[in-house]
């Protein structure tokens, strides 16, 4: 049996929180549209107790993921709390192709965030002055 869904967890540097990528088969497109199969995926980022993106990730217009700036209301809240998510859907002739394309898009988003977090952490370290 082929894999129907995948979830990966990634630690976000410098903030002791995790991001998740979840990809799953949705099914076949509507008969009136096409014979393609559809795969959906989400990038989940940590939210605070109010359901908003945690402050350490609020880069605003400096970092956009899925076309949206990282602001408190980025994405949509995940039922049960703890995360906000942004969805990606892909249709293809093969399940593997669609899953790979969704994972690629989500990993690119996550990569942009990780780059920003590492750069921010580096800037803080570079700000260290030996005079103090």
pLDDT at position 79 over 60? yes
Mean pLDDT of 78-97: 96
Confidence of residue 132 (pLDDT cuts 50, 70, 90): low
- Provide the mean pLDDT of the chain: 94
Confidence of residue 129 (pLDDT cuts 50, 70, 90): confident
The CA-CA-CA angle for residues 71, 78, 60, to 5°, reads 5
Three-state secondary structure call for residue 13: coil
pLDDT at position 125 over 90? no
Task: For residue 95, give the nearest of 21, 33, 23, 39 by alpha carbon.
Answer: 39
Domain boundaries, the chain: 5-123
pLDDT at position 1 over 60? no
Three-state secondary structure call for residue 52: coil
Task: For residue 34, give the nearest of 115, 95, 104, 92 by alpha carbon.
Answer: 92
């Amino acid at each position: 049996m082929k894999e129907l869904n995948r979830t990966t967890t990634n630690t976000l540097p410098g903030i002791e929180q995790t991001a998740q990528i979840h990809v799953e088969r949705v099914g076949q497109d509507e008969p009136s549209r096409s014979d393609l199969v559809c795969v959906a995926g989400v990038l989940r980022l940590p939210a605070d107790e109010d359901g908003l993106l945690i402050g350490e990730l609020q880069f605003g217009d400096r970092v956009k993921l899925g076309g949206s700036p990282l602001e408190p209301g980025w994405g949509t809240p995940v039922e049960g709390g703890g995360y906000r998510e942004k969805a990606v859907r892909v249709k293809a002739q093969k399940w593997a192709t669609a899953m790979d394309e969704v994972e690629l898009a989500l990993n690119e988003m996550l990569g942009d965030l990780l780059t920003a977090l590492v750069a921010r952490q580096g800037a803080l370290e570079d700000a260290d002055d030996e005079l103090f």
